Copies of this chain bind each other. A is one copy, B any other.
Amino acid sequence: MTHDLDRISPLHGAGGELMGRLLAEHVLPHFEDDPSQIGLSAMDDGATLARPSSGDLVMTTDSHVVKPIFFPGGDIGTLAAAGTLNDLAVMGARPLALSLAVIIEEDFPIADIDRIVGSFAKTLKDSGARLICGDTKVMGVGELDGIAINTSGIGVADPVVGDAGARPGDAIIVTGTLGDHGMALLAAREEFRLSTELTSDVASIWPMIRSILPVGGIHAMKDPTRGGLAAALNEMARKSNTTMEIEHAKIPIREPVRGLSDLLGISPLVVANEGKAVLVVSPEVADEVLDRLRSHALGRDAAIIGHVDDTRPGRVIVTTAVGGRRFLDMPLGDPVPRIC
């Protein structure tokens, strides 16, 4: 068996000398361990982290199979780190530790591994969390389309913010423009190859969310990824048995997103976002939360898009631009496959 040295071979995922070298040369240099703990570079069966002194632990996991793996605004590495950091953030949790498990197709370029892991490290930076453990598996040519990445995360929250706490009278806030990730990915697909100004919003929102938690009065938060705002709001409405009333005109949407959306007939409200949160907050704190969000680069376009009431429990109602009212239903699924 001979292999191109610049590409992944089956032995790179086989637990021995070659896997060790791949990790030592292309993964470990991107990260720094806490010297007081058994970290990533120890390559032990697991890693350790200090038990936090207060709060509840939060755990989350996400696999990423995005296509294409490099897209305007980021890549699968950015997405893997941001996805997990953001899931922790919307639980009100300070991220502590992440894992990175990659499954790679044989013959995948090792230079791309470096680039992807570099993006992951860059996104993790300034989050306060460390990458502490990982796993590498290789599948044969044709057994996997490129690369798939799982990132799990541990955080600590005090208090935990769930997605079920909406109450009538609460304000509904989005932290920025919607539909950017889904529409950018769609435009980047080979079948379209549209040259647009569309860029994914993929980013870690923890630094922004951290700044609003001390305000209090945040009753529910959610990460509007697959299925977009429509899925997030429908879940929040069902779980709290309330009605989410939103106004389409108040939802921030970038012009090129609106344009592609009209062209393809896909609503920006049902596609994934990867650097946004939907918040349901007590009316007394809505302005303060909005001010704090807008002071962050990622929150400049934050807006109050509606309120919670109890007219149609479990449903989402949108007032359209021309003043009509209709249900915004739970989508069957995100219309864009392999969006994240």
Q: Which residues of A contact B (CB under 8 A)?
A: 10-19, 37-38, 42-52, 54-65, 86-88, 90-91, 93, 97, 99-103, 132-135, 137-140, 142-145, 148, 150, 152-157, 160, 162-164, 221-223, 225-227, 231, 235, 239, 272, 330-335, 337-339
Contact = CB atoms under 8 A, between A and B. Distances in A.
Given A144-B144, A163-B44, A333-B17, A59 B65 contact: no
A135 B100 CA distance: 15
A339 B14 CA distance: 9
B164 A44 contact: yes
A133 B331 contact: no
A45 B223 contact: yes
A145 B139 contact: yes
Nearest to A60: B46
Give the secondary structure class of A's interface: mixed
A162 to B, nearest CB: 6
Contact of A88 (B46, B143, B221): B46
Given A38-B162, A148-B148, A101 B62 contact: yes
A60 B45 contact: yes
Contact of A44 (B17, B63, B139, B162): B162
Contacts of A272: 15
A302 B101 CA distance: 32
B333 A42 contact: no
A18 B48 contact: no
List the 3 closest pairs (A to B, CB-CB), nearest first: A15-B226, A14-B333, A11-B333
A164 B45 CA distance: 11
A16 B334 contact: yes
Contact of A46 (B47, B87, B142): B87
B46 A135 contact: no
Contacts of A16: 226-227, 231, 330-334
Given A90-B45, A137-B63, A15 B225 contact: yes
A102 B63 CA distance: 8
A37 B157 CA distance: 13
B333 A18 contact: yes
Given A14-B334, A65-B137, A60 B47 contact: yes
A55 B222 CA distance: 32
B15 A150 contact: no
